[in-house]
Amino acid sequence: MKQQVTKRLPAKKSTSEIPLHQCSVIATLKLFATKWKPCIICYLSKRSMRYNELYRIIPNISRKMLSEHLKELENDALIVRCQCDRKNQRVEYSLSEKGVSLLPLLEHLQDWGLTNIKNVLSIQEMVAITLS
């Protein structure tokens, strides 16, 4: 018996005038939902850190990606870059108030992951392993 091919009806595109960047969920995710930004935020939630400290403890991140993400997080006012001396030789990063306000959201994501995904670690376990 030969299979009969049916025509598909074209899908209707949304004609909404609301741009996606105005969606609060999408806008929030764009601030921190990359591969590395949650890691940076979690480590900085424990203490201020220098660039090389972050580079050493975040596994598999390249220097370029770390620099880009730190600049983006600073531009989005999630972290603060503090120059500790006049010659710019000592720079530390820490969470801003806005960055600290993201921590409960990351904890909710962590809780969901621990409940629904097998063989994952909590933020505290990840930080303890890499900072020890």
What is the C-alpha to C-alpha distance for residues 86 and 89, in angstroms, rounded to an integer?
8
Name the pLDDT band for 53 (thresholds 50, 70, 90): very high
In the chain, % of residues over pLDDT 90: 55
42: pLDDT strictly greater than 70: yes
Q: pTM of the entire structure?
A: 0.78
With H, G, I as helix, E, B as strand and everything else as coil, classify residue 82.
Answer: strand
How high is the pLDDT of residue 14? 64
With H, G, I as helix, E, B as strand and everything else as coil, classify residue 55.
Answer: helix
